[in-house]
Amino acid sequence: MKVILTYGTFDLFHVGHIRLLKRLSLLGDRLVVGISSDSFNEMKGKKSFFSYAERAEIVSSCKYVDEVLPENNWDQKIDDIKKYGVTCFSMGDDWIGKFDYLEEYCEVLYLERTEDISTTDIKKKLSLISQSELEKIESSLHDVIGIVKSLNIK
């Protein structure tokens, strides 16, 4: 059985994440995804919009993913490779060379990232939305929720 392992933050889950997970799943029989824990993100100086538990639930619901585990530190990769019987470790090509030391334990593969989409870009675009625009969006959402509640048939 060929087991693929990857890691990521997977904040603001988007089509780039889906495409990556799909490509990874096609490489083997089982896809295991390590997701950066909130404490690990804090150590890296990062803050996710969604908590680890929420990100883990989102990623684990993806049909391409067989198992999700928390990534708590940089050093756990070798232990995870051994524990899950990993045959291929893969990351995006923005990490080329960083994990070559794992070749002692399994194949290491760097995949091209999906062009024109990243969580960082999404966060930048969202930060440009004005307070008044946010208030209009919130009001519209409340209107939609009210309509949906009124249609609730029991």
What amino acid positions are annotated as catalytic residues?
A: 44, 46
CA distances from 148 to 99, 134, 136, 151, 154 (A): 49, 21, 18, 5, 13
DSSP 32-63: EEEEE-HHHHHHTT---SS-HHHHHHHHHTST
3-state SS assignment for residue 144:
helix
**b/e burial code for range 101-128 (CB count within 10 A of at least 16 → b):** ebeeebebebbebbeeebbeeeeeeeee
Backbone phi, then psi, for 27, in 5-degree steps? -80, -15
